[in-house]
Chains A and B, each alone.
Chain A
Amino acid sequence: MEIDINRLDLEFQAKIDSGKTIEPKDWMPEKYRKTHIRQISQHAHSEIVGMLPEGNWITRAPSLRRKVTLLAKVQDEGGHGLYLYSACETLGISRDELFEQLHSGKAKYSSIFNYPAVTWADMGAVGWLVDGAAIMNQVMLTRTSFGPYARAMVRICKEESFHQRQGFEIMLSLCKGTAVQKHMAQESLNRWWWPSLMMFGPRDEESTHTEQAIKWKIKLKTNDELRQQFVDQTVPQIELLGLELPDPAIKWNEERGHYDFGAIDWDEFWRVVGGNGPCNRERLSARKEAWEKGAWVREAALSYAEKQESLREAV
């Protein structure tokens, strides 16, 4: 039996190495299944919780154009959460179990959403920086080994590009506006910069999952590689906006061919991951409240469907 599992494991790895995708009904190591449930559900929860800070600004958008855009973006996030929940359920976990894991704190979501969106400029900075960072991760995941996850990512990446562009457009308008508006943009950039860099996760030497994740093609680049790529692509964009760099240590390093940047406050990172960021409790209680207050709708719809079905059968 032991030998049999080893053989299956080897065949499984060979399949991944040869670039074949793994589909839900294929044999897979239990750890592969568990890791994917953890990662895909965490990703789905991030989309759903991510609707909260922006949903907060829909009624206060400064123009109809901004309002329809923001509404469409938040709807997309709901949709992205649903694609991902569906992909996750193919691994044999139910939607209710997934929600239960979110509500109990067993499952995590991206820490970035535990920061508050306090000004309109934050709608710009979130789209530009937070979605920008997310896209880098997601583009990589379109080539991941698990089929349903990769396919959900392709769809998400296609839709997400507008999220980042609309964010940059908001920043651009503010930067071309009055001194007060430009200051609002600068202040927002300063606040979101570090949490955005933290989105890529702990440093490579402290990342416990990286090696296995690369073997299974859940990750094709390490946290630090993606973080550097993000800094490199974002610094020229900050300059284009005419804003000041949010970190005085940012400097082009000719030798490395990359921008150097300052040290990240990892204590803050672990504090927020551990549940003690500015909005952790607020976000989770909003999700729980939505779930509990929606219970009667779920039950009523199901009773109605069952009743209709029994009426049809009686005819």
Chain B
Amino acid sequence: MTMKKEWPVWEVFIRSRSGLDHRHAGSVHAADAKMALENARDVYTRRQEGVSIWVVPSASITASDPEEGGELFEPAKDKVYRHPTFYDLPDELTHM
């Protein structure tokens, strides 16, 4: 098998309508950014699913390691005082 170099992988993010965040939709292969946008358009927005697309080379993404999930995210677990419901206030209180 002759293993030629593959077109790089790009992650695709789509804003479904104005006012919303871009959300990860999937990925495409493309030789360059322009082609990645065109391919993303064809693959992920055939039914008007988007008004804006971002493409990012997958290799440029740094992801957190699931093994380190505990260290990263557990410290927030016992900080209930960061939520409004932690504070005990009388029911008569309004506008707060």
Contacts and interface: CB of A to CB of B under 8 A. Distances in A.
Interface of A: 23, 25-27, 72, 75-76, 79, 82-83, 86-87, 89, 94-96, 100, 152, 159, 295, 298-299, 301-302, 304-305, 308-309
Contacts of B37: none
A100 B1 contact: yes
Interface string B27-57: 1110110010000001100110000000000
Contact of A301 (B3, B31, B66): B31
A298 B1 CA distance: 16
B84 to A, nearest CB: 28
Given A96-B3, A302-B5, A302-B7, A79 B46 contact: yes
Contacts, number: 53
A159 B32 contact: no
Chain A interface main SS type: helix
Given A298-B4, A301-B32, 6 more contacts: A26-B66, A27-B66, A82-B28, A86-B26, A152-B26, A298-B7
Contacts of A298: 4, 7, 31
Contact of A94 (B6, B27, B43, B67): B6
Given A79-B43, A305-B32, A25 B6 contact: no
B47 A83 contact: no
Interface residues of B, number: 22
Contacts of A75: 46
B63 interface: yes
A241 B21 CA distance: 46
B92 interface: no
B31 A302 contact: yes
Contacts of A87: 26
B43 A83 contact: yes
Nearest to A100: B1
A165 to B, nearest CB: 15
A295 B43 CA distance: 21
Contacts of B63: 25
A215 B27 CA distance: 29
B53 to A, nearest CB: 15
B74 to A, nearest CB: 17
Greatest chain B CB density within 10 A among A75, A95, A152, A302 is at A302
A295 B32 contact: no
A96 B46 contact: no
Contacts of A95: 6, 29
Given A79-B46, A82-B43, A301 B26 contact: no
Contacts of A26: 66
The 8 closest A-B pairs by CB, nearest first: A301-B31, A305-B32, A305-B31, A86-B27, A302-B31, A26-B66, A86-B26, A82-B43
A159 B4 contact: no
Nearest to A103: B1
B91 interface: no
Nearest to B9: A89
B49 to A, nearest CB: 9
A76 B27 CA distance: 16
